[in-house]
Structure formats: structure tokens, C-alpha cells
Amino acid sequence: MSFLHDVAHWFNDPSHWRGTAGIPNRMYEHLQYSVCAMVAAIVLAVPVAVWLGHRRQFGTVAVNVSNVGRAIPSFAILVLGAQQFGLLELPVIGSFTTFLALVALAVPPLVTNAYVAVAEVSDDVRDAARGVGMTEGQILRRVELPLAVPLLMAGVRTASVQVVATATIAAFVGAGGLGRYIIDGRAIFDNTQIFAGAVLVALLSLVTEVSLGFAQRALTPRGLRAELVTARAAAVAATSVPDGKVNP
């Protein structure tokens, strides 16, 4: 039990709560990387994917992009970025390498889920909307998007959790974030620090997951809330049932 005692001691040490290497700053960096990357990825991916889903065009591409993304280790993108751009720091987004790698990581699941979420809206519902005289834009905004929310938000949630997880590895290429405690701890064989860092990262991921779960619930029309639990799992499996369809 003395190990856990050491960990508690580590958290109680005031010097771990101040300065660049302090927990608040590392937490800030971690969130900075994650939030900036997610915002950029959503702006890039979701409108296009939703529009394609509405048109039901390029479905194979939209679905397969996340299969390909899955095969590339997230940390490979990070290392390649680091080789190309080194330690370039930019205002607002922080480490440029990390930003690029995280955006590249978040785009595929966002595209797939946003596309499928809209494309899977049933034909009957669309026909009914057309029948009552809605324009294409109205169908998209008032019918398809609300129905797409559970799966679309499940994609945002899955991508966010993945981004927060991978922002941990950013420390490996010299960026900041909570992963520093793990990577630095590893370099000096300090198991206490590694463990403390891992606890912080795991907590941050769980908080991300849970709070986005609430956001997803709040945004979902009441009649669809029963589908939320399975939507999450569906997003993780990211629709890659090999024939390119989600299970209905």
C-alpha cells in the first residue's frame, strides 16, 4: 500500500500544482489541444458529411474513411507530424504537430457517423416531409438533423474521447498536456509520477465521456432517447459492418 501512499503524497505536493509542469497548466494544455482540434475537425467534417448524407452520395467513401483511419495507429500520425513540423508552437492552438495529428484522427469517425446518421433517416419520413411541402433545406434542418442527432453526437463523443486519449501521447513528441507525467516519469523511472499522470488522464477522459453523454442526451429529441445507449456502441463500431450499413 506504500505505493498508493506515494501517489497520494504526489498529489498533495504543492509544487505539483504550480508553474508550467503543474497539474493546472498541463490540464489546460491538454484541453487546449483537444478542444481546438475537435472544433476544427467538426467544422471541416460535419457540414460536408451531413450534406452528402442528405444527397446520399459518396456513401462508400464516407463509411470506409473511418475503416482506413482505424488501421493507422494514431500515434503514427503524431510521429510523422513531429518529423515534419517539429516543435512549432502557434497561438491559440499550441503545438501545431499535435493539432494536425488530432484533427486527422477526429475527421474519419466524424465523417462516417455524420454521413450515416443522416443517410439512415428512413425514406418514408423524407417522403412525408416532401409531401407536406417542405423544401430540401427544411427537410435537412427540421427532419433529418433532429433524427440524426443520437448517432451524430455519438460520433462527436467517440472522436472526442479518442482525441483526449491521443493528446496524452503528444507529450512523446515534445508537446505538453497530461501525458507529460507519464512520458517524463518513464524517462526517469518514476512510477509514482507515471501512475499519477495515468490517473489524471483516465479521469479527464471519463469526464469528457460523461459530460458529452449529457450533452448528447440534452440535444436528442425526447422520442429518440431510448436509442442513445446503443448509438454510442454503434459509433465506436463506426458503422463498419463490412457491407457498409449500420445495423438497423
Partner 1 sequence: MLLASNVDRWLWWDWIDRNTDLIWSSLREHVILTVAAVGFGLLIAIPIGIAAARWRWLYAPSLAFTGVLYTIPSLAAFALLLPVTGLTRTTAVIPLTTYTLLILVRNVVEGLDGVPAEIKDAADGMGYNRFQRLVRIEMPLALPAIMAGIRIATVTVIGLAAVAGLLAIPSLGNLIYIGQNRPIRTAITVGIVLSIALAVTADLLLALVQRLLTPWARARAQR
- Total of chain residues touching partner 1, rule CB under 8 A: 50
* Residue 211 touches partner 1, criterion: CB under 8 A: no
Distances (CA, A) of 30 to 61, 97, 199: 32, 14, 14
Q: Using the rule CB under 8 A, which residue among 27, 48, 79, 88 binds partner 1? A: 79
Name which of 132 and 202 has its Cβ closer to partner 1. 202
Contacts of 165 (CB under 8 A, 6+ apart): 74, 201, 205
Q: What angle do CA 152, 41, 219 make, to 5 degrees?
A: 30
Give the whole-angstrom CA distance, residue 218 versus residue 214: 6
- What is the per-residue binding string for partner 1 in 142-181, x denoting contact by CB under 8 A? -------------------x--xxx-xx--xx-----x--
* Residue 232 touches partner 1, criterion: CB under 8 A: yes
For the chain, give percent helix, strand, coil, nearest 5.
80, 0, 20
Q: What angle do CA 102, 104, 108 make, to 5 degrees?
A: 115
- What is the per-residue binding string for partner 1 in 40-69, x denoting contact by CB under 8 A? ---------------------------x--
Instruction: Note the residues at the interface with partner 1 (CB under 8 A).
Output: 3, 67, 70-76, 79-80, 82-83, 161, 164-166, 168-169, 172-173, 179, 182-183, 185-186, 191, 194-195, 197-199, 201-202, 205-206, 208-209, 229-230, 232-234, 236-238, 240-242, 247
